[in-house]
Amino acid sequence: MTEYTTVFGSLDDYAKGGVQIVDDDPKYYAFSNIFEVASQAAPYEKVAVGKNLEYVLEVIRAEGTSEWRATPHDEFALVMDGTVRIELVDPATELVDAGSGGSMTLEDRPEGAAMGAVTAQRGHMTMLPAGKAYRMHCDGVGVVLLQTIEGPDTVYRWADICQTF
């Protein structure tokens, strides 16, 4: 019996990996490494690494403090590396149209009640609730995988990040 070892990477220590196609056309597959994507991204840039209809998985390089963002739908932030603090605010007024996709950048902290903060480390998932505002902070450099809906700040770099054959 073959023995397998799962190794969880980090921004400082990852292996690129790849996809081995056995009996299919490689054009149907995409493969990228989230740590490699984060290593080449600007802080808080939202780089798509997976897509299904309007839903995307975005890699975010958490470094320093992000801008405030608001989202009309729930988002899920999975910290893959580092320690990320997420502040949450319940805005006094509606900030985004419920029918829009993706989160939007806010110019400043919105008026409203502080909801608290979550400090998430590698492997922790945090829900970013619909209609609320948030910002992230990381003292060092971290990696966040964000499940969201495609929005105006979603960056596509398929040609740069996907495995080619």
Residue 10 lies in a domain: no
Report the C-alpha gap between 15 and 18 in whole angstroms: 9
143 within some domain: yes
Distance CA(116)–CA(149), nearest Å, equals 24
In a domain? residue 101: yes
Specify if 2 maps to a domain. no
Dump pLDDT digits (tens) for 54-101: 899 999 999 999 999 999 999 999 999 999 999 999 999 988 877 778
Confidence of residue 162 (pLDDT cuts 50, 70, 90): low
Q: What is the pTM of this model?
A: 0.83
What is the count of structural domains for the chain?
1
Residue 1 vs residue 83, higher pLDDT: 83
What phi and psi, each to the nearest 5 degrees, are found at residue 142? -130, 175
**What ranges make up the beta strands (E) of the chain?**
46-52, 55-65, 68-70, 75-81, 83-91, 104-106, 112-121, 125-128, 133-149, 154-155
